[in-house]
Chain A
């Protein structure tokens, strides 16, 4: 199975800050990765598809990039509504494993 190691597990930042979350794949997954945002009691919401493609309605404050087997989600100019958990999921090979998740708190 492809392991997705996500870090950090939690972070706290202020409105206007920029934060980054990283998922490291245990092998090359060739950009086959999505990023999701999840708020309590809600299903995950797709933010970025294929590592860096912003999906409809998602603010441009969210961006994604790849460096080797590292995939990074960056959220710029943090807003209060960005408080949520964030997950990566790889779709290169089944099982389509998730990262462990990152809980983002806005101070």
Chain B
């Protein structure tokens, strides 16, 4: 069955970077896309960006475009997202979600979330 497993929580200092991972299984990785979404405590969902795995093409929200890098590792069916120059506003839970080519609307496969805490 399809599984999406995220890396664990991270505590980072102001100005540091964090690299999160999203390991997938149960589907053809090259025929999928993965999006990253974050949620501050008590707030709504915020779209960060996505990668089309087969082509490696990425799109990142303008708000993050100079701080976010999304990559994929074909050897481990894993997508990574690195967020740099962290501030307290980056504290929150980060989710990845996958969709497969069998249905590009079926964003049904979500990771469990990873809490990122940014402190001084």
Q: Residues of A at under 8 Å CB distance from B? A: 1, 32, 34, 36, 38, 43-46, 49-50, 53, 55-56, 85, 87, 89, 91, 94-101
Contact = CB atoms under 8 A, between A and B. Distances in A.
Residue of A34, A50, A94, A101 ringed by the most chain B CB atoms within 10 A: A94
Interface residues of B, number: 23
A55 B112 contact: no
A49 B44 contact: no
Given A32-B105, A96-B35, 11 more contacts: A34-B107, A36-B45, A44-B37, A55-B108, A56-B108, A89-B45, A91-B104, A91-B105, A94-B50, A95-B59, A98-B37
Contact of B110 (A44, A55, A97, A99): A44
Interface of B: 35, 37, 44-47, 49-50, 59, 61-62, 95, 97, 103-108, 110-113
B105 A49 contact: yes
Contacts of B47: 89, 95-98
A43 B110 contact: yes
Contacts of B97: 43-44
A98 B37 CA distance: 10
Nearest to B4: A43
Given A32-B105, A49-B103, A87 B110 contact: no
B113 A50 contact: no
Contacts of B44: 85, 87, 98-101
